[in-house]
Structure 1
Amino acid sequence: MTELISVPALWQGRCLCGDHTYEAYGIPDDPHLCSCQHCTRLSGAPAMAWVGFPRSAMKWTGREGEPTYFSTWPTLHRGSCQRCRTQLTSVADNSDMIMVTIFSLARGAELIPVGHSYRDEAMPWMTITLAPEPQRRT
């Protein structure tokens, strides 16, 4: 039987320098790692960790508002802080979801990835333990 965990109703996050802060409400969707070429180059790491929230559940609360977006693919846009360069978001055209980097969340370490996109492109020395099933709210 899968163990149920408590999920906070409010998630808060920010960039490194604090110019961009946000609040996301509700149950996080699809916490996962990604080892695509875009994520590895943007992060300088073997994977980026992402989690989604409905766009309607996301509120930018910092003095700078939303981050600056740039396209990494014709239909995919990444948001980052122009001061500290923290990668914060990934948004696909026509999607109701916004992905945020898990570790921009104050409690991001509580989220366990349930998937690994582009796993076949991951470094061969990278060993990952994924959650057995999607996390559920108690």
Structure 2
Amino acid sequence: MIRFEHGRARGRADACLAHRPASCQTEHTGNTIRRAGMSITGQCHCGAIRYTAEGADEHHALCHCADCRRWSGAPMVGWIAFREEQVTITGTATVYSSSEHGRRAFCRDCGTGLFYRNAVVLPGIVDIQSGTLDSPQDRAPAAQIMCREKLPWLAEVETLPAFDTYPGVD
């Protein structure tokens, strides 16, 4: 269980797991991380792999672990988790064994990272990289995890100059 105290998550952070079991919930507002009655859709960059997930998610979190950073090439990765039976995938993803039990799936055509599974730690769960959602703006994460591995400069990211487009491009 993850508990929130003054905006900071407290709880187990077992390995690189933006991946929490179904018992994961936030008590900051008294709401569970799960969202009932919604479905999501998404795809890889080239569209060769599409997915749909129906019903309530198990959680949606930003993971700061080094393993997820290295896999994605990004300073953190958003993961939204569903029970395996809730997810329908079209297209064939390539699977990479990233650890003894961890399996990461990506599009072999465009390289987009899409799914994470770990049958030992997260039986029956498929984590979906939330940046691949068709409408990621509609599903805000409810937690940050593995913050002990968070890049220290992320604390200052809001102080950086911000541009609506690439500088010099209209």
Q: TM-score per shorter chain, which class?
A: 0.7 to 0.9
| Aligned mates of 2:129, 2:36 — CA distance in 1 | 17
Question: In the alignment, residue 47 of structure 1 is paired with which amino acid?
Answer: M
Instruction: State the match for 1:52 in structure 2.
Output: 81
Matched residue of 1:73: which SS?
coil
Shift, 1:27, TM fit: 1.4
TM score, norm. by length of structure 2: 0.66
Instruction: State the match for 2:111 in structure 1.
Output: 85
What 5-or-longer segments of structure 2 have no aligned partner?
A: 1-27, 157-170
For 1:60-83, what per-residue CA distance to the aligned partner results, in whole angstroms no more than 9, with x for missing partners? 13xx24x11111111110010001
Question: In the alignment, residue 101 of structure 1 is paired with which amino acid?
Answer: Q
Shift, 1:10, TM fit: 2.0
- Among 77, 82, 95, the alignment partner of 1:69 is 95
Shift, 1:127, TM fit: 3.4
- Among 37, 41, 53, the alignment partner of 2:66 is 37
| Aligned mates of 1:9, 1:114 — CA distance in 2 | 16
> Highest Rg: 1 or 2?
2
Q: Structure 1 residues 22-31 or 77-86, which shifts more?
A: 22-31
Given that 1:49 and 1:103 are in contact with CA atoms closer than 8 Å, whether structure 2 keeps it comes out as yes
- Among 45, 49, 74, the alignment partner of 1:20 is 49
The CA RMSD measured in Å over matched residues stands at: 2.2
Q: Which has the higher contact order (CA 8 A, sep 6+)?
A: 1
Given that 1:103 and 1:109 are in contact with CA atoms closer than 8 Å, whether structure 2 keeps it comes out as no
Instruction: State the match for 1:118 in structure 2.
Output: 146
Q: Which runs of 4+ in 1 moved over 6 A?
A: none
Matched-pair identity in %: 26
Instruction: State the match for 2:127 in structure 1.
Output: 99
Shift, 1:31, TM fit: 0.6
The verdict on how the C-alpha distance between 1:44 and 1:26 changes in structure 2, with shifts beyond 3 A counting, is same
Shift, 1:8, TM fit: 5.6
For 1:90-129, what per-residue CA distance to the aligned partner results, in whole angstroms no more than 9, with x for missing partners? 001141110000111112222222222221111112139x
Number of equivalent positions: 124
TM score, norm. by length of structure 1: 0.80
Question: In the alignment, residue 12 of structure 1 is paired with which amino acid?
Answer: T
Instruction: State the match for 1:131 in structure 2.
Output: none
